[in-house]
Amino acid sequence: MRISFKTGIQSGPVGDIAAVWRRADEIERFAGGYVNDHLYNPSFPRRTDDSSAYEAFTLLGGLARETTRVRLGTLVVGNLFRNPALVARQAMTLDHLSGGRFELGLGAGWHEREHHDHGIELLAPGKRIDALEDGLEIITQLLRDGTADVDGGHFRADGALLEPQPIGPIRILVGGGGERRTLRAVARYADHWNFGSAEPDDVLPHKLDVLRRHCHDVGRDFAEIEVSAQVFVRDDIADLADRAHRLAEYGAEHLIVALVTPDVGLLERIADATVDL
């Protein structure tokens, strides 16, 4: 089972985050690392008064220069925050900065307060998925063909160009478990699907059955899509290995362990706890 980490709460001294990434780069057990993409701490204001958050692409640009081995990714970009052609260009730039190690994760968005406060309309759920599909179509055309023509309902591209092209194919990750629309978008566009932490682990087999049906309907080989599961940890990792084994039995191939705080010592304990997976 592949193991990656996520510095999921991007606040506090940025040097602490960089220290985690530098150490993870030295620990071969970790295949990659991820950051989130939020304008506020995702727990604000429900569970914390702190809204602090570093911007994802800028942060990853620095982390690309702090590391040499681990892959870098977003889990996940808020689709409504930026024009998708800009996202494709940011992804291409990060791919060059990291020597071809970047993976682009996208999602429809959910945090009401951060959208409202910044004047970004958090669309109704159906329209939000429409916009995600527009964004994925534009981004995949640009990253794979170098040009995009999309007349979408929310985002459009009229002969947009992306030069230079990425060093190699940039893998697309899609997060979200909506069975009718989101998993169909996974089947159409994604190289990697992430099963989030909001649902019980035992829901995963059902979601994978739905994804298989969508793959069949769109003519996609289900085996081409990597399946990961995200797990949040604080300082107690006693049951992490058991949970990872359970998720593997349910169909996950890749465990992404999200650190609630950027703790180098916790990172090392996670590597030890998962060494036999």
- CA distances to 66, 121, 169, 241 from 107, in Å: 26, 15, 20, 28
| For residue 90, pLDDT beyond 90 | yes
| For residue 35, pLDDT beyond 90 | yes
Q: How large a percentage of the chain has pLDDT more than 70?
A: 100
pLDDT bin (cut points 50, 70, 90) of residue 186 is very high
Q: How large a percentage of the chain has pLDDT more than 90?
A: 90
Mean pLDDT on 99-103:
98
pLDDT of residue 139: 98
| For residue 147, pLDDT beyond 80 | yes
pLDDT of residue 206: 98
| DSSP reduced 3-state for 196 | coil
pLDDT of residue 234: 87
Phi, psi of 86 (to 5 degrees): -65, -40
| DSSP reduced 3-state for 30 | strand
pLDDT of residue 236: 84
pLDDT tens figures, 194-250: 999 889 999 999 999 999 999 999 999 999 999 999 999 988 898 999 999 999 999
Tokens of 11: 């606040």
pLDDT bin (cut points 50, 70, 90) of residue 265 is very high
Tokens of 219: 């003519």
pLDDT of residue 209: 98
| CATH number where 218 lies | 3.20.20.30
Mean pLDDT on 262-274:
93
Is 92:164 a contact under the CB 8 Å cutoff?
yes
Instruction: For the chain, count helices (H), then strands (E).
Output: 9, 11
Say how many C-beta atoms besides its own lie within 10 A of residue 163's C-beta.
Answer: 9
pLDDT of residue 117: 97
pLDDT of residue 9: 72
Higher model confidence: residue 208 or residue 10?
208
What is the count of structural domains for the chain?
1
pLDDT of residue 276: 87
pLDDT tens figures, 42-62: 989 988 888 999 999 999 999
Q: Which domain holds residue 89?
A: 2-273
Is 64:127 a contact under the CB 8 Å cutoff?
no
What CA–CA distance (Å, rounded) separates 148 from 25? 35
pLDDT of residue 227: 98
| For residue 135, pLDDT beyond 90 | yes
| For residue 93, pLDDT beyond 90 | yes
- Considering the chain, what is the average pLDDT of its residues? 96
Tell me, what DSSP letter sits at residue 49?
A: S
| For residue 2, pLDDT beyond 80 | yes
| For residue 179, pLDDT beyond 90 | yes
Mean pLDDT on 115-137:
97
| For residue 67, pLDDT beyond 90 | yes
